[in-house]
Amino acid sequence: MSPVQTHAQHTIKYLEQDLVSYEAVFNDNSLKGKLGVGMITNATAALDLFAWLLYQTLDQRISNRDLFKKLIADARFFVAADFINERVLYGIVRCGVVHQFYPKDIAIVAVNRDDPFVQYNGKAAVNAIGLYRTTLEGLKKVRDHILTLSGKDLDEMDFKLELRRRLDEEQLDGAKLNIHTLPQA
């Protein structure tokens, strides 16, 4: 299995494990924690990862918004109406949570439905459980697609993963993080 295939496998496994945790908290009435922001953050980070691997060009000219748009519009992975459109998913929900901790003019709820968006108390709401489930189901299809790649297509995707790693490593170099000063876990 190539590096990108292994990475895709591990990412989906992580998302599946987190969904079990999220659903356990949701189903336990004694727990009052609100996981919506975390669920949205994880789901959109995973969308970002796979969109970057699938569609980003080597010159990195495609914006995150356009990458999201390409991914959620790709019928191999998602139904066109799953996320309404990229402006709602990216601009209102993802950017709202990442930059303001809340979606812009839309509530966060958790109801046991697969619908990413619902009407709640007369207001539009992102259903964190439904968003996470919908994202995970689509990204499982992306993972399966990546697992079928071979030859030049697989080599290119492995190269993109390595490029992403090196870009991230470059950022870490500037952070001057000395692991020897950190406590042992």
- Dist. CA 42–CA 149, nearest whole Å: 25
pLDDT tens, 132-180? 999 999 999 999 999 999 999 999 999 998 888 887 777 766 677 677 8
Name the percent of the chain lying above pLDDT 90. 64
pTM over 0.95: no
Tokens 């950190």 correspond to: 182
Tokens 């692991």 correspond to: 179
The chain-wide mean pLDDT, for the chain, equals: 90
- Dist. CA 90–CA 141, nearest whole Å: 20
pLDDT score of 32 more than 70: no
- Dist. CA 13–CA 46, nearest whole Å: 12
Q: What is the mean pLDDT of residues 110-136?
A: 94
Whether 116 and 98 have beta carbons less than 8 Å apart is answered as no
Q: What SS3 string covers the chain?
A: CCHHHHHHHHHHHHHHHHHHHHHHHHHCCCCCCCCHHHHHHHHHHHHHHHHHHHHCCCCCCCCHHHHHHHHHCCCCCCCCCCCCCHHHHHHHHHHHHHHHCCCCCCEEECCCCCCCEEEECCEEEEEHHHHHHHHHHHHHHHHHHHHHCCHHHHHHHHHHHHHHHHHHHHHHHHHCCCHHHCCCC
pLDDT score of 85 more than 90: no
pLDDT given at position 13: 98
pLDDT given at position 173: 67
pLDDT score of 82 more than 80: yes
